[in-house]
Amino acid sequence: MYLEHFGLSEPPFRITPVTVFFFSGANRGEILDALIYSICEVEGIIKVSGEVGSGKTMLCRMLLEKLPRHIETIYLANPSLSREEMLYAIADGLGLNIEGERVGIIMQNIQNKLEEKAREGKRIVVLVDEAHAMPPDTLEELRLLYNLQVGNFKLLQIVLFGQPELNAKLDQPNMRQLKDRIVHHFHMQPLSRNILESYLMFRMRAAGYHGPNIFSPNAIKLIAGASNGLMRRVNILADKSLLAAFVEDTHDIEARHVQAAMRDSELSSARKLPDKKLLLGSAAAALLLFSLAAWWMLDKPQTSLRQTQDKPSTLAAAPAAPLPETQSIAAQPNNALAPASIAVANQMAASPADIPNPTTKKPSLFEQRLAAGKQLLEQKKAVASIQLFYNEEVKPERIEGFLKRANALGKLPEIYLLPAKFGGKNGLRVLYGAYPSIDAAHNAVKDLPARYQEAFATSTYIF
């Protein structure tokens, strides 16, 4: 009804999950990247929890779209399955016809099929939505399925999406074996008032809006208070506020429009959410694991609508990827990262090569830092650098996102890209800083930006 009035091509605040409206702020993008890395590279069951309407199903849909092709998914949307029904659902997802077979035969057929998939280089992941409603016996059967392996290779990966009640269920004594196998836990935090404006305008832009911000500060404050930061409630209130503004023939969303939406939605008083400290603590896994996984995620398509958030979070550390060459020296773990400019880097930053030519197309950030890395090698003034991560393929469009974030942090001049060979493949090293000695590079690790300190398993790289 109001689409033409606001210049929209589609409704911006629909509550049905549509992946083009995935908002990567409020830690969502980091959680998605960390989930993809965990599924592809790390063993162990994964748990994602969040309040009703916090965006778990949308995250699950994004996961289905973004996982690499060698990852095959089985999506269990109905958690209220008995043990046998769940086995039938998984067997059906694997393309098996086991109708009427007893449980033991079903399990054997599933294992045989999983082994066949493993030989083909495939990895199977079961995504369980609304896992908090799954019966304990069914959850226990999932644990038994997770135990299937060939040698040291697990045949099945499991991701549980559920409300906070899932945590209480896993705390029960009879669930301790399943809980012990959960290696990563991510929590979907509500949207803070500070980021709510970005979320609202992101959805508007994704729906085709090109004008200025239309939500007044008072309107945003009311939406934040009535929704408790839960995306579904935010969407309902924003949608009805747009309708109220359309009826008034205005393009500005004021407090009175939100108040009308609140009355219509009966959302004037939101229920109390869990303690903030608990939310921050349970969200620990996302930011650190995302950072560790950054080198791997360079192969993942970046979205032009990606929103970034600097709010830190705590998370369980994931194992660091080993460096393939003896040329790199392992840095001390858990060092704080902070800026570490030296004369070499300053000279590089002042190089004429960094001055853009107005008659030519401006080079991309990837091209700029690749040229800086080449200059670094040619000048032979640096002995060592800090390797943040490496990638076994060179895909410039994939690293632009990382470089843009480095630029936003004011650290882009410290980043150098060096071509490298990994098992005969053309790869890329991502380095930070240029130092006159190995000891200087080693000592500078503690001065890296805090975000990099949490993100990467760094090493000292010798030129």
Q: Which two tokens stand for residue 394?
A: 């060179």
> For the residues 140-164, what does the mean pLDDT come to?
91
Q: Name the pLDDT band for 454 (thresholds 50, 70, 90).
A: low
Distances 259 to 227, 246, 252 between C-alpha atoms, Å: 12, 15, 14
Pairing of strands 459-462, 384-391: antiparallel
CATH 3.40.50.300 fits 23-190+276-297, yes or no: yes
Q: Are 170 and 137 in contact (CB under 8 A)?
A: no
Please report the pLDDT score of residue 91 as a whole number.
93
Question: Which pair of structure tokens corresponds to residue 393?
Answer: 């393929």
pLDDT digits (tens, 9 = 90+) for 401-449: 889 888 988 999 999 999 887 656 788 889 999 998 888 888 898 889 8
Q: What is the DSSP letter of 445?
A: G
C-beta separation of 395 from 370 below 8 A: no
As a whole-number percent, the residues of the chain with pLDDT over 70 amount to 78
Report the distance separating Cα 417 and Cα 359, nearest Å: 25
pLDDT of residue 132: 93
List, for residues 282-339, the tens digit of each pLDDT value: 444 444 444 444 444 444 444 333 333 343 333 333 333 333 333 333 333 333 333 3
Does residue 240 surpass a pLDDT of 90? Answer: yes
Report field, pTM of the whole predicted structure over 0.85: no
Residue ranges of domains in the chain = 3-17+191-265, 23-190+276-297, 328-462
Topology (CATH level 3) of domain 3-17+191-265: Helicase, Ruva Protein; domain 3 (1.10.8)
> For 357-382, what is each residue's pLDDT tens digit?
545 578 889 999 999 999 988 888 88
Quick: pLDDT tens for 159-212: 999 999 999 999 999 999 999 999 888 888 899 888 999 999 999 999 999 999
Helices assigned H by DSSP within 42-102: 56-66, 83-93
Lowest mean pLDDT among 91-105, 120-134, 243-257, 314-328: 314-328
Q: How far apart are CA 96 and CA 319, in angstroms?
A: 35
- Gyration radius (Cα) of the chain, Å: 25
Rounded to a whole number of angstroms, the distance between the first and last alpha carbons of the chain is 63
What is the rounded distance in angstroms from the CA atom of residue 241 to the CA atom of residue 52?
22
